[in-house]
Structures are given as structure tokens and as C-alpha cells.
Amino acid sequence: MTEQDVRHLLAKLPPLREEIGKIIVGQQQVLDEVLVALLAGGHALLEGVPGLAKTLLVRTLASATDLPFRRIQFTPDLMPTDILGTEVLEEDHGTGHRSFKFNQGPIFASLVLADEINRTPPKTQAALLEAMQEGHVTYAGQEHALPKPFFLLATQNPIEQSGTYPLPEAQLDRFLLYIRIGYPTEQEELAVLSGTTGAARAEVKPVLGGEDIRQLQQLVRQVSLSPELLGFVNRLVRATRPATSPVKFIQEYGRWGAGPRAGQALILCAKARALLQGRFAATLDDIHTLAPPVLRHRVLLNFNAEAENLTPDDAVAALLRDVVV
């Protein structure tokens, strides 16, 4: 890409935020993290109590990016074929020849919302693993490529345990970011109430297309990261492992640490955040900002931590405080 092409692409990012902001009030950090995951080419898991506009955020993103969008509502009786697709027997009325044809499921879209993913059993959750990691689906021994870009956003409700199936650690690791959504501020909630109970409705216009997103994802990998910051990310990830960690918090409360995929995710996300802000070099602030959503689902704590009400976010804070920059 020429410098003019790059400038043209980056000029579309502020209008993208503005279009999403017509519907989504506040939640700037959540929106930034979703866009970081999109530009970094990964997938994101959104967690928040009901009514915080998780589904609306994804729908608005789909409208603002002009991507083919599908929503899958996960339920206890959902089967893997309901997501991936299935084969049907077709007959050619001219020749009488019969053959099987693969009918694509809702996973074959550029932007997929897996709503309440923890309400379906592990067998169905596992149907997403290959799609998330490899970018294709295998059915009856045949590989079927997914569209590019392919971006999966899953949501889950943290407050109900009855009838839910927590995601296994192996599948959690496939998510680039684990994004937590909190309650809005008083002013933001007032704006939501006034803006959603009247007759006027905002219209979201598409800003980015699929080709724009593919080019931005390529551009993210060209963002600079200094060798010093690369070494810091490496030390930070290795410090999450209790057996070799120099951090006292991890030694005392850690049960399992992050693998190399966490370092890859943190570097790509830092580069994506830099690009979102119009920079071509990632900084220490980018790494500090994105360490919690990158690491909170990759650091497992022991029973002592649970007894003291300590969370993975507390572990990440200790890591950022104690690992030498």
C-alpha cells in the first residue's frame, strides 16, 4: 500500500467510532477493545450482566462495517450442525443422479455473534474451535473455508450458574481478548434512557468494508515494536507461570500460567491500539492497557486466591507492578 492508501484507511477509523456512538452510549473502553480485536484479526469474548447492550454493540458494529452478519442464539439443545451446517441429498431431475450438497450454517459469515455461549453444552461449544483457530470448517472429511475477514464475538452472562456450561480453558485461550462490560455512569445511563424511549431513531451508515478491514489487519503487523518492549512482553507472560515466576503474588496464588499465544496476542493488540490512535509504533501504555483483557482468561488462580476473593485482574495488576520494564 502507498502512503496515500494508508492515510485513506486510517481516516475511516474516527467515523467508524462516530457511527457506533450513535447507538452505543459510553463504553469507550469496551468499544476500543472490540475494535482492537477486529484489527488484530482475533476473536473476543464479552462478559456482562443482562441489559448492557452486548448484542446491540455487535449488531451496530456489523452495520457500521458492512460485513455479512449472523447471530447464533446458544441454547442447551443446540447441536454442532446447527452452527456448522449439514449435508442434504439432492436429485438432478434431468438425469436422476443423486448427490450430497453441503448447506452452510450461520458460522459462514464475516461477523458472527455467538450469543450466551455458556448456555450450550461443551460438544456444541467445541464446534467453534476449528473455525476460530483455522478459519475453516471440516464436515464429512471436506474442508470448507470461512469468509475473510472472519470475526467471532461471543457473549456470556456471569451471574447465572444454573443451566450454564463454563467454557473450558482450551477454548478460552482461542479468544484474543476477554472483555468485561460494567454498568454505565449516571450521565451515560440518563442519555440511554432519553435516547431509547422516544420516537427518533439513529441510523448507522457503513464506513468500513471487508477489503478495508483485511488491509488494516495487514497494516497492524507492520506497526513497530521496540526490542525492549518485546522483551518486556516476554518477561510479563513468563512471569504468569508459578513455577518460574519472580512475582510473589503468582508464586502464592497462581495455579496455571499463560502460554506463548498470550505474548502473541498482547503484541498484536498493542500494535492494533497504536494504529487506532494513528501511531505506527506501539508503546508501553498500549501494553499496560491491553494486558488485563489479554491475560485475565489465561491466568488461573488456586483455591487460596478464591478464598480471599482475589481475581485474575488482581494477578495482572501485580504482574504489571512487579515485572521489570
- Reduced 3-state DSSP string for 173-215: CCCCEEEECCCCCHHHHHHHHHHHCCCCCCCCCCCCCHHHHHH
pLDDT digits (tens, 9 = 90+) for 221-233: 999 999 999 999 9
Residues 166, 31: one domain? yes
Its domain, for residue 284, covers: 223-324
- Cα 272 to Cα 300: distance, rounded to the nearest angstrom: 26
Q: Are residues 182 and 235 in the same domain?
A: no
| Among 234, 216, 214, 215, CA closest to 226 | 234
212, part of any domain = no
- Is residue 218 a part of any domain in this protein? no
pTM of the model: 0.88
Tally the domains of the chain: 2
pLDDT digits 0-9 by tens, 78-87 = 888 888 888 7
Greater confidence (56 vs 284) lies with: 284
Model confidence at 239: pLDDT above 90? yes
Residue 21: CB atoms within 10 A of its CB come to: 17
Q: Does residue 10 register a pLDDT over 80?
A: yes
Do both 11 and 132 map to the same domain? Answer: yes
Q: Is residue 165 very low, low, confident or very high in pLDDT (cuts 50, 70, 90)? A: confident
Q: Is residue 44 part of a domain?
A: yes
Q: Is residue 169 part of a domain?
A: yes
Shared domain for 21 and 137, answered yes or no, is yes
CATH code of residue 117: 3.40.50.300
Domain identity same for 165 and 20: yes
